[in-house]
Amino acid sequence: TQLLEQSPQFLSIQEGENLTVYCNSSSVFSSLQWYRQEPGEGPVLLVTVVTGGEVKKLKRLTFQFGDARKDSSLHITAAQTGDTGLYLCAGSQGGKLIFGQGTELSVKP
Amino acid sequence: SAVISQKPSRDICQRGTSLTIQCQVDSQVTMMFWYRQQPGQSLTLIATANQGSEATYESGFVIDKFPISRPNLTFSTLTVSNMSPEDSSIYLCSVDNSGGRATDTQYFGPGTRLTVL
């Protein structure tokens, strides 16, 4: 089993601030997914990145896949209270997903 | 993406009993998976539910404890057997993005929150 290290584990910021979440591994993934999970619900897919160096934008969220496909980052610009939730990265290997530990984000008004 | 439902959404059970969780998808999918999410933790893959054959379990999970059925391409069940308080978790099913071919992207059901007393 390959590990996917996600950081930070907890993040509490004020509305309007920027933040970055990181996922790092020593292993190569065929793709990497980012999910957001709210209490009492299942994870909801935000994005899948496949190509090394790929950058995808989803409104105020920017996702990047490392050149070597071993790491990824999620950057949120001007965070809003509605961004509060658990953010999960998951790398794909052999058709299975390996999840990072998750980042619990709290955005305060 | 596929619409996934799970039953029950939550349950409180006594130790020593078993609970069967159902996962229903609104379209045929190649791959179905079962995960466990313990309180405050990330997701851990329990097994891959294979249509027409025995499930493939990950290290640390066994068929006697977590029997899985997959009778067709839209439905699967996970049973948590002889439960103990340590089994209290959210159990999630997921599917690949269908189309008859396996892909990397998975979509998740809403989860079943299990509490064992």
Domains and their CATH numbers in chain B? 4-97 (2.60.40.10)
- pLDDT, tens digit, for every residue of B41-95? 899 999 999 888 889 999 999 999 999 999 999 999 999 999 999 999 999 999 9
- Domain regions of chain A by residue span: 13-103
Q: Is A85 on the interface with B (CB under 8 A)?
A: no
Contact B102 A95 (CB under 8 A): yes
Tell me the C-alpha distance between B62 and B44, whole Å: 14
Q: Which DSSP string corresponds to B23-61?
A: EEESS--S-EEEEEE-TT--EEEEEEE-TTS--EEPTT-
Determine how many CB atoms are found less than 10 A away from the CB of residue B41. 13
Q: How confident is the model at residue B100 (pLDDT cuts 50, 70, 90)?
A: very low
- Is the preceding omega at residue A43 within 30 degrees of 0, hence cis? no
Residue in the block written with tokens 């993934």: A29
Give the pLDDT of residue A24. Answer: 96
| Run of H or E residues at A93 | strand A85-93
Q: CA Rg, chain B, in Å?
A: 13
Which residues in chain A show pLDDT less than 70? 1-2
Contact A50 B102 (CB under 8 A): no
Contact A48 B104 (CB under 8 A): yes
Q: How confident is the model at residue B97 (pLDDT cuts 50, 70, 90)?
A: low
What CATH superfamily is the domain A13-103? Immunoglobulins (2.60.40.10)
Q: Provide the CB-side half-sphere exposure for B18 (13 A, CA).
A: 12
- pLDDT, tens digit, for every residue of B27-54? 988 889 999 999 888 999 999 998 888 8
